Amino acid sequence: MTELIHCKISLKKITPKNSKSGYSNSELKKLFGSTKINPDLVFSRAEFFQQTKTKVQGMSISGVQQKLSLKENERHELEATTEDGEYILKPSPEAYPFAAENEHTAMLIHQTVGIETALCGLVDFKGGEKDGEKGGERAYITKRFDKLPDGSKQHQEDLLQCFDLPSKDKYSKTYEEAGLLLNKVTSGKQAVTLEFVKRIIMAYAIGNDDMHLKNISVQKMSSNKGVHYDKLTPSYDNLLVEALSSTQKSKIGFLALGLLHDKEDGDEEFTDSYNYFGYYTGVDFIELASRLGLKEKPVRKFISKLATDVKKLTDLVTHSFMPEEMKIAAQKIIESRINALQKTDYTDS
């Protein structure tokens, strides 16, 4: 009997006949453009941190996670580069083991519910006694979506830049304020606003309480010479944050930003439903959508479909490369949050 394994890109079952080093051939082609690529990294985790000292120019480094720009060389290997990078590599930080596997799972969850998501997968660091490391440690890799076929960059900005705020203020607005700004910079495109609301719903559904203003970006198509943006960029930097570690939980709360904006005092405003239950329900996100000028029907439809999709999402978690404890935590969060979202009507009677 042929042993089935799960692809390190799609998490779908594959057979050795249709795969290469733990990857489906079709998924390799989708992410890397061909099956010639060697997805196994030719450097170790220790060498990665050495390379980031010299190869990280122009790359953003957050407080806890270093990144490296990669491109495919003539030997079809992924090598570090300071220019013409095609991919971004992120290992799990020391403080957050298995963050790479966690982010990969969160991204596939978004893809499964129909949200446009950056192409991504897992790759293995080179292991060996030379660096005192065990082989097989994985890193998260994602394909850049800001590059045009001619090598030039596609114009995009995150919402922090759209607000013209410094990096320290990435948590300073509510999602309602962010959505109103999004309406403004996209000239009121309702499809973009609806996509934005769906992404906020998903942040809540998976326990991602770090979806701040820098993690939401808008993009112009190359043919657009006007001042308004066309769309949101593919979704990126999604994590099952609350499942990352029972000892490293975020102190922010359910979401990175307040949901609704109180015009009188400038703080977050809560619905009667939130005040009653003590957590967000579908009522809160329908109210957000309404304040952003959206109709209820598509938002209710998306929330309702999550209840249908919940098994697909928890199955993805099951087949992921996260450790068992993290899987169990993630599944509990997804099931409880999607259940909470199904409460789409509230009266105090």
**Active-site amino acid positions:** 210
- Hey, is 89 helix, strand or coil? strand
d(C-alpha 239, C-alpha 259), whole Å = 19
d(C-alpha 6, C-alpha 15), whole Å = 9
Q: What angle do CA 195, 220, 80 make, to 5 degrees?
A: 95
Read off the amino acid at residue 126. Answer: K
For residues 254 and 129, the answer to whether their CB atoms sit within 8 Å is: no
What's the chain look like in SS3?
A: CCCCEECCCCCCEECHHHEECCEEHHHHHHHHCCCCCECCCCCCHHHHHHHHHHHCCCCCCCCCCCCEEEEECCCCEEEECCCCCCEEEEECCCCCCCHHHHHHHHHHHHHHCCCCECCEEEEECCCEHHHCECCCCEEEEEECCCECCCCCECCEEEHHHHHCCCHHHCCCCCHHHHHHHHHHHCCCCHHHHHHHHHHHHHHHHHCCCCCCHHHCEEECCCCCCCCCCCEECCECCCCCHHHHCCCCCCCCCCCCCCCEECCCCCCEECCHHHHHHCCCCHHHHHHHHHHCCCCHHHHHHHHHHHHHHHHHHHHHHHHCCCCHHHHHHHHHHHHHHHHHHCCCCCCCC
Residues making up the chain, counted from first to last = 349
Helix (H) or strand (E) holding 307: helix 296-319
